[in-house]
Amino acid sequence: MNKTYEVTYSPFRSFTREAWSKLEEHPMFPVTGIDLTQLQALNEPLTIEEIEEIYMPMVRLLQIHLTHYQNLHNERDQFFKDNSLKIPYIIGIAGSVAAGKSTTARVLQKLLSMTPGNPKVELITTDGFLFSNAELERRGIFNKKGFPESYDAKSLLSFLASVKSGRDELEVPVYSHLYYDVIPNKVQIIQKPDILIVEGINVLQVPMNKKPRRRVFVSDFFDFSIYVDASEKDLRQWYIDRFKKLQQTAFQDPKSYFHRYADYSEEELVKFANEVWDEINRPNLEENILPTRFRAHLILEKGECHFVRGVRIRKM
């Protein structure tokens, strides 16, 4: 007999900001001396309180996972009676444009590197694996930049497979937000990190309602994943606010891809930013990014001022 069950349980544990902050009341190290200006992205406020109340409990949780990861490595070596290569622990960070992923990634990189043993923590963004503007134009998908099909997924998967294979040195393409393009012949060198953070809007995605052509996905290489969440209304406003700030700064550079908008009136600029959001960023969010939210191990739920109001953690 078929039964209909009410959904009274969730695969996630939910914490209010206050409850989450009390999980780590005795920080492993002082954070008051950290230079916040080196960590926060444009128009993304960051405070010591945010680090103490949100990020320190998260780092402690990650330490628990990292300790078990290392213990499993050691026990497997004992079982196989050999000493295998230490493989980097990979943390994936996903979320919409303007959600604050880059700030989250940089804060975690800094704090994890300060934990006992001072592990080597590297950070990459998947922007470097976007196809060049010329290639996007050739494929007729320049207006889909940031959508899954705009990435060189084969190269990204090859890179992550090499990381998990224990390669000593790897190269990552570099993307310039000034030029709005991948920089030819410029690379970031990754050398045997203990922890690798991979930040990108679509890193948790798998094909939706399609028969997948690839059987391996970016998230298959993650040991832990984080989704930075916020309402669409807030995301839109943050995107517009950032666009305004960029007009006053980066867009003023004649070399900037967006220099043409440097002299727009505020009304023209806001209109253009809204059009970009409605035509590109919102469809990408709704079709590709937001559906991956519940694939994450941890979800940071942000309020309207960019500060975290709640945390969800996947049950084990």
Give the C-alpha separation, 309 to 297, whole Å.
17
What is the structure's pLDDT at 207? 62
pLDDT on residue 209: 53
Q: How confident is the model at residue 210 (pLDDT cuts 50, 70, 90)?
A: low
pLDDT of 44 over the 90 cut: no
pTM of the model: 0.93
Q: What is the pLDDT of residue 242?
A: 94
Q: How far apart are CA 194 and CA 198, in angstroms?
A: 13
CA–CA separation, 243 and 245 (whole Å): 5
Q: What local confidence, expressed as pLDDT, does residue 213 receive?
A: 61
Domains and CATH numbers, the chain: 12-314 (3.40.50.300)
Q: How confident is the model at residue 122 (pLDDT cuts 50, 70, 90)?
A: very high
Tell me the average pLDDT across 219-223: 96
pLDDT value of position 42: 79
Span 198-225, mean pLDDT? 82
Question: 126 to each of 3, 153, 288, 296, how far by Cα in Å?
Answer: 44, 10, 15, 17
Per-residue tokens: 85: 């290569």
3-state secondary structure of 40: coil
Using CA atoms, how far apart are residues 182 and 194, in angstroms rounded to an integer? Answer: 27
> What percent of the chain has a predicted confidence (pLDDT) above 90?
84
Q: What is the mean pLDDT of residues 267-288?
A: 96
Q: Which two tokens mark 265?
A: 């009136």
pLDDT, mean of residues 71-77: 95
Which amino acid, one-letter code, is at 182?
A: V
pLDDT per residue as tens digits for the range 127-145:
999 999 999 999 999 999 9
Q: Tokens 């000034």 correspond to what residue?
A: 178
Q: Nearest-CA neighbor of 89 among 246, 206, 222?
A: 222
Instruction: Dump pLDDT digits (tens) for 151-190.
Output: 999 999 999 999 999 999 999 999 999 999 999 999 999 9
Q: Per-residue confidence at 212, pLDDT binned at 50, 70, 90? A: low
Residue 229 has pLDDT above 50, yes or no: yes
Segment 44-73 mean pLDDT: 94
The β-bridge partners of 181 are 176
CA 176 to chain centre: 17
